[in-house]
A = this chain, B = another copy of it.
């Protein structure tokens, strides 16, 4: 049975992991979910690597909500770089779902965005794991997660 890891943080202001788990379970069956919560996004790279190597996960979602200060963007950059490094070391995908606090104007919009982007990426995880041909079908279509799709250019 396939294993999907979910790494999330106490720093985030929305329970993205619960949204991810619900969406994954509504989309498919035949997999086990393993959740691992860490303090902040810079703790995610090693958390994901541990999910691969100690928990035998086949793919991991890395969920985080960076703040809006310049230092927060730098932390997100460091975390993303580490997540890419972890993938190269393990030869497995980590789907990064980051929602920046300044992407939304109200708390309500921020919660909506975090929920929707997480759920749309959860479907990418199902496709990568079980239906990679679905992704190729949508290649070059300008898909976005959270806000509306940009669409293709002609």
Q: Which residues of A contact B (CB under 8 A)?
A: 8-18, 35-39, 42-43, 45-47, 49-50, 53-54, 67, 71, 73-75, 77-89, 91-96, 100, 107-108, 110-111, 114, 121, 124, 128, 132, 135-136, 138-145, 150-154
Contacts of A96 in B (CB 8 A): 42
A54 touches B136 (CB 8 A): no
Q: Is the CB of A10 within 8 A of B140?
A: yes
How many copies of this chain? 5
B46 touches A84 (CB 8 A): yes
B84 and A84 within 8 A (CB): no
Q: With A15-B140, A139-B15 known to touch, is A42 a contact of B80 (CB < 8 Å)?
A: yes
Give 4 nearest A-B pairs by CB, closest first: A15-B140, A46-B87, A13-B142, A82-B84
- Indicate if the CB atoms of B145 and A107 lie closer than 8 Å: no
Query: A35 → chain B, closest Cβ, in Å?
Result: 6
Chain B contacts for A121, CB-based, 8 A: 39
Contacts of A38 in B (CB 8 A): 93, 128, 135
CB of A139 within 8 A of CB of B39, answer: no
State how many angstroms separate the Cβ of A103 from the closest Cβ of chain B: 9
**What residues of chain B lie closer than 8 Å to A111, measured between beta carbons?**
153-154
For the complex, give the distance between the alpha carbons of A38 and B27 in Å. Answer: 19
Taking a contact as CB atoms under 8 Å apart, the answer to whether A153 and B91 are in contact is: no
